[in-house]
Structures are given as structure tokens and as C-alpha cells.
A and B are shown apart, each in its own frame.
Chain A
Amino acid sequence: MAATPTRLLSSNRAGWAMAAPAVGLILLFIIVPFALAFGFSFTNQRLFSPNPTQWVGTANFQQLLGVSTLTLEPERDASGAVVLDDDGQPKYPRLRSYTRNNPDYPHLQGKQEWFSFGWGDSRVFVLASDVVFMKALRNTFLFVLVVAPLQGGLALLLAVMTNQKLKGINFFRTVYFMPVVVSIVVVSLLWRFIYDGDNGLLNNVLGWLTFGAFEPVDWLGNPSTALPAIIAMSIWQAVGFHMVIWLAGLQSISPTLYEAANIEGASRWQAFRYVTWPGLRNTAVLVLIVITMQAFALFAQIDVMTKGGPVDSTQTMVFQAVERGYRKQDIAAGSVISVVLFLIVLTISLVQGYLTREKK
């Protein structure tokens, strides 16, 4: 038994030598920076500053993740009737009177409103220490939840369609793969023009298809359409990459299985359901995990197209990490986000690994 580690470490020099460049690069550019980020997240490290760095413990994490709720009764006038504001909605006391220097609510100090909902007569306010981060967290999850199944499914559809023995099928494969080869920054710039609210291509095409009935939409300037617009563009951009992985999986399935299914009289759907899909199991796990990880790293599209706006509707975790760590020169704040993102992705990968394990 003791032979295994010895052989791995000493009698395998050629193997280690060959792995060395990759191991070295991964160590230098992934492991070391992450260890540094982990360390920085417990300090007040700045990008550059003449002040010495101080240890701050978990204060950065508390600042990032702090959430509280506050239930408020509407304001009432002398007769006990609810005071209404200009829009006819019940008026509530200003939150800032609770969250700033109020000795009765020390746990709300510095917090801001994230969202609120009605609860009977009163209203429950959910307050966060870092509202922008909470919105970034929500947007990132929304992005992953929409992109992972849609992009994976669409890529599979394209792969099945381009896996036929037709003349010129390589042309279609190339066309679908093309956006992957173009730099994401260039793609984002082009889509910024496509989504333009006044005379963008998308509005023109939709207007033409509906004979002018379509009202132009300012896709990236409207908080309700900005994130969906970026989701659609992101799915389109990377779908070809996953199509190629699915194609590789499809072509590894033995044709004899399809012949057998044919002889058994299986319909096309049955052949897909009982031959193709089980044969793609491992590919499916790979595609799902890769898409999930890529989706969590959403940055370039945001930076080029919206910078997190309008009104935080496209903030994402990586964009905020860069914005704070680099542009606002607060490396500690950027590091905390990176560490939290790492923990989230790690958890999700472990759960995915468990759910898609080989069941004996």
C-alpha cells in the first residue's frame, strides 16, 4: 500500500515534469491570488495607499451580508386615520430616522432599504447593509437560473440539428460557432447598437415585422428590459461553444444502438429519449457545470453595455468586485465579494456533482 504514494511522487518524474508548467501557472494565477484575496478579505487593504493595512476580522463580511427587517405602522393623524401621500398610498415614517444614529435600533445603523412588502396594515422593510451587493447577488442568480437551462437546451437542439449527414452541414456548424470566436467585448459593443432605443436594429426589425405597430423599446435603458436583453445576447454568444461539446457527445454514441432502436420500431422521440439522452449523460453534466460557472462570472457584457445600470438592474457580483477592488481602489471589498462568490460556486458544484453522480 505504501508503494502508491512513493511511486506517485518519486518514480514519476517525467509525469511531474510534464505537469509542471500547468501546475505552476494554475498555482501562480489561480491558487496564489485566491489565497491573497482570502487574506485581504479580513483586512482593510487598499489598492494603493500610504496608510498601513489593518486586520479587521469579519467586519467586511458583516458589512457585505448584513440583513435585517423592520416592520413599520403607517403614520396616523390626530383622529387615527392613516395619512396618505400624494399618490394615495399610506405614508410611512422615513427609514433614515431608524437607520441613522437611533439608539433604540443599533442593529439597523447604516442599513438601507432593499425591498418592502405589505403585511396587513403595516409594511415590512427588508434592510441590507449593502443593497447594491444584494441586488448584484439577485441578478447573478437570476442570470444563472435562466441561462443554464436555456443555453444548454438550445445548444443541444442545435447539436441535434447539425448532427445530420447533409450537404454543407459544416457551414451551419461554423455559423453557429462564429460568435464564440469573436471577442465578447466586440460582441457587446455590436449588441449595444442593436439594442439602441432610438434607431437600433432590433426596434427597426420589430417595427417592420409588425407594420409599425411596435413601440420602440429602450432595451438597455429600461430597468425591466436591461437584464433580459443581456441574458438573450449572452445565450446567443456562447451557445455555439456548448453545441460543439454536445456534438462531440452525440458522435460518441454508437450508430448500432440507433439501428437496434430502429429495428425495434422506436419513434424518433423514443430513440432520443432512450438512446441519445442516456448516452449524453456525462456530456450533460459537463455542459451544465461549465455554463453555471461561466454564468456566475458575468462581467464583460455588463461593463461594456450598462455598467450595472439602469438603477442597479444589471449589477452582478463580478462587476461589483472589479468596480470596488479596482476602480474604487478598495481591494478588501473586492476580495470579500470574490470569496463569497467562490463559496457559492463551490457549493453549487458540489450539489450538482452529488445530484448527477452515478447511481449504483
Chain B
Amino acid sequence: MTMLTRVSAILLASTCLAGAAAAQAELTFWQHGAGNPWEPRLFGQIVEDFNASQSDWKVTLQQFPQAAYNDSVTAAALSGELPDIIDVDGPLMPNWAWAGYLAPLEITEEELEGFLPGTIGRWQDQIYSVGLWDAAVAMITRKSTLEKYGIRVPTLGEPWTGEEFNAALETMKESGDFEYPLDLGMWDKVEWYPYAFSPFLQSFGGDIVDRSTYQTAEGVLNGDAAIAFGEWWQGLFTDGLVPGTSQDPADGNQAFGFRDGKYAIVWSGNWNGAGVLEAFGDDALFLPAPDFGNGPKIGAASWQFAVSAQSENQQGANAFIRFALQDKYQAMFSDASGLAPATATAAQMTENYKEGAPMAVFYDLSAAQALVRPVTPGYVVQSAVFRKAVSDIADGADVATALDAAVDEIDADIENNQGYGH
């Protein structure tokens, strides 16, 4: 008798435990920052805090190296194994939304009031993704370097003109003090190319695709402005002003080459800003892009959070994203990485972006120059085609031929996809 009671008590207890566990839904969250010094730690903390803050959902974080991340998501989408919460690079979002892999967020426009425009991803009038930060790039250099060679410090109101910029590079090259006057990050052969280099093309007056219709690249990617861009671009490499496509990753990564004094200027983002400030302090300068005739331009939109359409717990996924968007987490990320927090209130809580702080300038750079990459599902292909064209031109291909070939490929792809739903 006692034996039976004991057994049934155990059975009852275990059923209750199982019941409690079942009520808590498991969610997975994929993120691209494995191998990065700060992302695993910070995302781990948000996940831990979220799991502790409520008992309905339990989020597990899985991290991937950035180079393999997008391929992993594609493979998972095809096999129906997408996680509930996905980290997505802003310009790729329309492609995933168009393909039906993402669900629109339940988070409303009102909740996102005051967020930087580059942190909100919209496709066909719905919000699909939102980020804790925006990235901005700048010509990063040292005040002392510019003073030494008598180069004017440009301002947002009066950026370097194209000629002025070229002359500055020549002066620094002739000094022989540097391996190269400028580091463009050519080693990073992934999304960096269109993100960092298409703004130069846009400043010349060209673009990757005609944004009025998103149906062709003819005339914008191979017009006179684009050819002028291509010739300037090729000159950087033939004149030995910039390390080429075979650049050693050890020199380019985290602006190490610039910090070691191999390069005078590095075209890099605010995610390397903290490291540069640590190395040079007050001497570091974050300068606007040169103006090649059509205004100075930089890219916008960084990594953002989205919810998978395959997720059975979309409510939980939205709850997690809402939780992560808190000012304190934005500030935490910004402090660790140097990226710009999404809201002004969070900015006031940070080391680098509060009023008068050394990197607050990135806010102004974004506001004055930012242009998102083409918002179209075809961007995935257009990005790869643009990447090949600028690589080929850097490696010595004929400018007009390379750009014509890129236009042909982009146009054929848009046609094959029946206009990508625009």
C-alpha cells in the first residue's frame, strides 16, 4: 500500500513537472557574431535576462561565423528548419520577406518612434525587421597625420571634393611613410563591397539599379557617371594608393593595419571606432565621405532582428525582440562595439555617443549622408554582381565592359524573376 502511494506520488510529481516544462515554449535565435569578441557575450546576456524575466518562453542562442551565416539561413529555409528569431542583414530582408520566410513584426510604428531610419526594415509597407543599432562608415584618420601633410580637415558642410581627396592620397603616397595611403578593406569580400563602395558610385551620380522602377540597371550602372566612377576606382589600384583584392586579412581586420601605421586613412565603420579611439584617443578623426559631384554618401542599415514565418511561437519571438530593443541593451551594444544606438535616449546612456562624446559625429554622418542599398528582393543578386564588377575593375578589367556585363546580368535576373514583385 505504501509502496503504491509512493509510486503514484512520484508519477504525479513527474507529470506536474512535465506539464510546467511544456507550458514554456522553446525558441531558437540565430545570430551571426560567432568569433567576434563582443557579440556572443552581449547576446548571451540579453537571452539570459529575457528567460529570467518571464516564464512563457525560453530562448536559446545559436551563433554562426558571419561568413557562413547567410548560406546557413538559406539552407535552413529550404529544409524548413528556420529558427524562430533570425538575425538579418538589412538589405537582404526584402529578399527573405518576398520569398515568404519572414513574418511581419507585431511591433508597431508607434513603438519604434525615434529609431534611426536605417534601423527599421520595411517591405511593401510593413515592418519586417528592426535593429538595436545602425552602422555608419567614415574616413578614419589622425589629426596629426593630416596636419603633417598639410591636408585640410573636411567637415560635413564642406567635405573633400574628389580632386582634393585624390591629391591628398597622392601627397601621402609620395611621402613614403605608409605602405598605402588608404585602406578600403578589400580583403572583406562579402557584403562590405556594395555597402562600402556603392556610395562612391552614388556620389558620382550612378547607382546599382534604377530605383524609380527597380526593373533595370541600364544607364545607372553603365552610364557616364558610372564609367567615371570605374575609372577613378581603377586608378586607385593602378596608382598603388590602395591595397588590392588580395589584401592580407590580418592587415584589414579591425583596422589593424591603420592602427599599426601601415595605412594613413581607413574607410571603415563605427564598429571599429572604439578600437581606433583606444589606440589614438583625441587624435582620431571620423571624417565624412568625399563628394564626387553628387554629394557625400555612405551606406545605411545594419544587422536587424526578424521573425520566421515558419515559427510556431511568433508571439514569443516578437516579445523577445521587443525586450531586446530596450535602451539599456542598445547602450550596452554601443559601448562594446562602437555602433550607433537606434534611439537618442539610448545614445545619452553611452560612452561614445552622448552629447560631446567622441563618436557622436557618426550620428551626424548618418543623418547627412546615409542612403540605404536598393530595397528590392533582387538586391541579393545585384550585390553579388556589383561585387564582381568592382573586383574585376580593381584587378584591371576594362571599365566599360565590366559595367556593361554587370548591367546585362542584373537585367536578365530581374526579368527571370518577373520584376521581383515591384
Contacts and interface: CB of A to CB of B under 8 A. Distances in A.
Interface in A39-75: 44, 46-51
Contact of A96 (B98, B404, B413): B404
Contact of B244 (A44, A219, A221, A307): A221
A311 interface: yes
B247 to A, nearest CB: 8
Contacts of A48: 74, 77-78, 99-101
B395 A223 contact: yes
Interface residues of A, number: 34
Interface string B402-422: 001100100001001110010
Interface string B383-397: 010001001100111
Contacts of B404: 96, 112
Interface residues of B, number: 35
B175 interface: no
Contacts of B98: 50
Interface in B175-213: 179, 189
Interface string B258-279: 0000000000000000000000
B392 A196 contact: no
Contact of A310 (B179, B245, B248, B416): B245
B245 A112 contact: no
B417 A310 contact: no
Contacts of A218: 244, 246
Tell me which of B99, B251, B416 has the highest count of chain A C-beta atoms within 10 A of its own C-beta. B416
B30 to A, nearest CB: 17
Nearest to B402: A311
A134 interface: no
A50 B419 CA distance: 12
A182 B143 CA distance: 47
Contacts of A110: 408
A309 B416 contact: no
B20 interface: no
A323 B405 CA distance: 16
A198 interface: yes
Contact of A328 (B381, B401, B421): B381
Given A50-B100, A221-B245, A311 B395 contact: yes
A249 to B, nearest CB: 40
Contacts of B99: 48-50
Contacts of A47: 74, 78
Contact of B418 (A51, A193, A196): A51
B71 interface: yes
Interface of B: 71, 74, 77-78, 95, 98-101, 179, 189, 243-246, 248, 251, 380-381, 384, 388, 391-392, 395-397, 401, 404-405, 408, 413, 416-418, 421
16 contacts: A46-B417, A47-B74, A48-B74, A48-B77, A50-B421, A51-B418, A198-B251, A218-B244, A223-B395, A309-B245, A311-B397, A312-B392, A323-B384, A327-B384, A329-B381, A330-B381
Interface of A: 44, 46-51, 96, 110, 112-113, 131, 193, 196-199, 218-221, 223, 307-312, 323, 326-330
Q: Which 7 A-B pairs have the closest CB atoms?
A: A221-B246, A310-B395, A48-B99, A311-B395, A311-B397, A220-B246, A328-B381
Given A47-B74, A307-B189, A311-B395, 9 more contacts: A49-B99, A49-B417, A198-B251, A218-B246, A308-B388, A309-B391, A309-B392, A310-B246, A330-B413
